[in-house]
Amino acid sequence: MCIIIMKMKNYNLKNTISFKEGVYFEQDEIYAPLVNAMKEYKENPCTGFHIPGHNRGCGVLNSFSSLIGIDALNLDTTDEFDNLGTLFPSSGAIDEAQKLAAKTFNSKRTFFLTGGSTIANLALAFALTCPNDKIAIGRNCHRSVLSGMIISGANPQWIMPRKLDDWAIYGALSPVELRDRLEKNSDISLVWITNPTYEGVVSDVEAISRVCHEFDVPLIVDEAHGCLWNFSDVLPKSALECGADAVVHSLHKTGGSMTQSSMLHISKNSRFDVHKVEHALKLLHTTSPSLLLLTSLDAARAFLSSKNGKAAIENAINNALYFRERASKIKGVQVLNSMSAVAFDVTKIFLKVDGLSGKRLESILELDFSIEIESASDEGILILSNIGNTQDEFDILLSALEKIASSNYPDLAYLEGIKFMPLTAPEVVMSPREAYFSRKERVKKEDAIGRICAEVIALCPPGISVLLPGELISREHLPYLSDFSEIDVLIK
């Protein structure tokens, strides 16, 4: 049943139940203007002489169109056409969809993006930082934050999050340490943190935000992995509720939109100039945004705001709790949980099996059980309990883990000495931008020790940097460089 609760340009939000501010859960389906506009577009084809040249799927390989379905090609269009609206400047159904998203996430302005959260981070850096600005950044940031620093010429002042050594992952960022840093460096003009961590560990963003407000320093939270938080009181509080100035959400990661689609929110009380951010996005974003991706953002926002969406999120949480409880009872399996004295998003489950590295466990699950997990690191694997998962799937995973934990799978010798999660503190010699644009040469990694790095080395996932331009390369980095035989370094 489809109940339209909001009409075009006449948002009637009365008679709905407020679950969290800006989020409405009464209807099975919620109005999605861009989805509706695309339906119109599909059902009323014109004779087209425009981009994309395949013209609704006519000019493509047959096996490709039957693989992905003619509907997908029919809807593969960009903005500017057919009353769908434009992204920059925001107009038509796209504008309406963005405004509804802003209402849902309780932001001043929400931008739809088709270049992932990468483009959001790049644009924020481009818009809000200047050459030589000092920016306090959590070292576990995604490499896109760093690419932003290379573009702008700002200088990162690294804040090291806690390390959970037994798990070989980053933990929370300390508000106390941040306060200390801001006290000693009155010229820091921006704080940029990643929350949650890739593995779901959560920092106290409310406290961090309070510190930032005390020092009148704006706060950006890369909440790429936390876009569901807005829709559940069981999940951590979204940074938009905690006083952050800008928040990045990869809706495509866990929010149900299509790969590459993301949102950037500027909060209601943001100290940032929205127009500056919009201008930067205009310069950096593709001028041909995929309407399919944009529409999937509208659909995801509508779904998550609906009764069905609420049920899907509750299901993801319940499945996670179900799995956590049973997995922790399997002999030889350890699950990162509240016993480990960290706050986390329950839907992100990091676990390890005695005697196996995370990478080895990942390959056993894939090769012997046809199970694909989110990622693996030195110690453990990351499993996501998603809005699209069923409890049956978790039973399959539990059964596989039981078998693995009670077998004698050998860990593989080739993994010895190789590390994946960079937990190294950097020794910064010069700014990323200065090093990136300096004269460089490519040398064998063993010969790079003692030299200044000239490239971004950050494998995905999770895209956390091992080395950045301007940092001194040491022997400590070698275990993290197994994928590299040579590295760009500055010419002496």
Ligand X SMILES: Cc1ncc(COP(=O)(O)O)c(C=O)c1O
Total residues contacting ligand X (rule CB under 6 A)? Answer: 15
Near ligand X by CB under 6 A, which window of 152-160, 199-207, 297-305, 459-467?
Answer: 459-467
Distance CA 427, CA 441 (A): 20
Burial of residue 121 (number of CB atoms within 10 Å: 0-12, 13-18, 19+) = buried
Angle (nearest 5°) at CA 248 between 145 and 92 = 125
Site for ligand X in 297-326 (CB under 6 A): none
Name the CA dihedral angle for 131, 454, 147, 227, rounded to a multiple of 10 degrees: -130
Residues 381-400 that bind ligand X (CB under 6 A): none
H/E segment holding residue 404: helix 391-406
Q: Which is nearer to ligand X, 30 or 248 (CB)?
A: 248
Q: How many residues does the chain have?
A: 492
Does 424 sit near ligand X (CB under 6 A)? no
458, 483 in Cβ contact below 8 A?
no
116 binds ligand X (CB under 6 A): yes
Q: How far is the CB of 239 from ligand X (least distance, A)?
A: 12
The residue at minimum Cβ distance from ligand X is 116
With respect to ligand X, which residue has the nearer C-beta, 261 or 306? 261
Name the one range near ligand X by CB under 6 A: 83-91, 95-103, 114-122, 370-378. 114-122
Count the helices and strands in the chain (H runs, E runs).
16, 17
Pick the stretch among 104-112, 178-186, 362-370, 456-464 that binds ligand X (CB under 6 A).
456-464
Q: Which is nearer to ligand X, 116 or 175 (CB)?
A: 116
| Residue 221 φ then ψ, to 5° | -115, 115
Candidate list 65, 98, 129, 194; residue touching ligand X; CB under 6 A: 194
Site string for ligand X, 238-277 (x = CB under 6 A): ------------x-----------x---------------
Handedness of CA 15, 17, 23, 29 (dihedral sign): negative
Q: Which residues contact 430 (CB under 8 A, 6 or more apart)?
A: 452, 470
Q: By C-beta, is 459 or 490 nearer to ligand X?
A: 459
**Separation of alpha carbons 472 and 367, rounded Å:** 39
Per CB under 6 A, which region of 173-181, 278-286, 368-376, 458-466 contacts ligand X? 458-466
| Cβ atoms of 139 and 426 closer than 8 Å | yes
Distance CA 128, CA 152 (A): 9
Chain positions 126 to 155 lying near ligand X, rule: CB under 6 A, are 142, 144
Nearer to ligand X, 193 or 217 (CB): 193
Q: Does 175 bind ligand X (CB under 6 A)?
A: no
Chain contacts with ligand X (rule: CB under 6 A): 116-118, 121, 142, 144, 194, 198, 222, 224, 250, 262, 461-463
